Chains A and B, each alone.
Chain A
Amino acid sequence: ETGVTQSPTHLIKTRGQQVTLRCSSQSGHNTVSWYQQALGQGPQFIFQYYREEENGRGNFPPRFSGLQFPNYSSELNVNALELDDSALYLCASSYGSGYGYTFGSGTRLTVV
């Protein structure tokens, strides 16, 4: 049973650029959620995808967008990067959105 894999592990981008983060869900899981964790804070929910459709969204602007693919992997896209977007981005997969979340090791994004 494979876990949740995220890529890349680290990324440095310039303000105004666009970035795509990737997540491979755990085998058997059909739901992927994305979280942003700023330094010293708990993770904040960005959105969730269930069977390729967005199921829920947190308080993030539209420049944060996502996709889920038929194999349940997912992408998080952020346009027009701002300095405050610097954070650890975590992906979690689950079977449904109840319990049993498995987290990936995250992507550390630095915007300069």
Chain B
Amino acid sequence: EDKVVQSPLSLVVHEGDTVTLNCSYEVTNFRSLLWYKQEKKAPTFLFMLTSSGIEKKSGRLSSILDKKELFSILNITATQTGDSAIYLCAVPTPYNQGGKLIFGQGTELSVKP
């Protein structure tokens, strides 16, 4: 059965700390992995990763995929209180397999002042 597993499930840090969030996957016909940030309700898109070893970067956030070891990490440097959220990783399945997103459980990040 296809699955996506995130760790840790929750994390409390102080402003300025650097955090690393992990996402491992076992999904048939893998093509890409997505990261989302969920504040309150609507998940908002962060990154899409398709190739191993190529870092995607946006400001203080960066992410990389390892297709050999079947995992991805999301790094946040110099954390701010506004980074407090649930971070979700998801793997999309092809249209002929229902076209769904398989999500991990999420990592709840809390950044203290």
Contacts and interface: CB of A to CB of B under 8 A. Distances in A.
Interface of A: 4, 31, 33, 35, 40-45, 48, 50, 55-58, 88, 90, 92, 96-99, 101-106, 108
Interface in B57-113: 88, 90, 92, 94-95, 97-106
Contacts of A50: 95, 99
A50 B72 CA distance: 30
Given A35-B101, A44-B103, A98-B92, 12 more contacts: A31-B99, A42-B4, A42-B90, A45-B102, A55-B95, A90-B41, A90-B43, A92-B101, A97-B92, A97-B94, A97-B99, A103-B44
A57 B42 contact: no
A42 B95 contact: no
Interface of B: 4, 6, 32, 34, 36, 40-45, 48, 88, 90, 92, 94-95, 97-106
A48 B103 CA distance: 15
A107 B33 CA distance: 26
A43 B95 contact: no
A50 B44 CA distance: 22
Nearest to A92: B101
Contact of B41 (A31, A45, A97, A106): A106
Contacts of B92: 97-99
A92 B100 CA distance: 10
Nearest to A41: B105
A42 B42 contact: no
Contacts of B48: 99
21 contacts: A31-B99, A35-B103, A40-B105, A40-B106, A41-B105, A42-B88, A42-B90, A42-B103, A42-B105, A43-B101, A44-B103, A45-B102, A50-B95, A56-B97, A58-B100, A90-B42, A96-B95, A96-B99, A99-B48, A101-B34, A101-B45
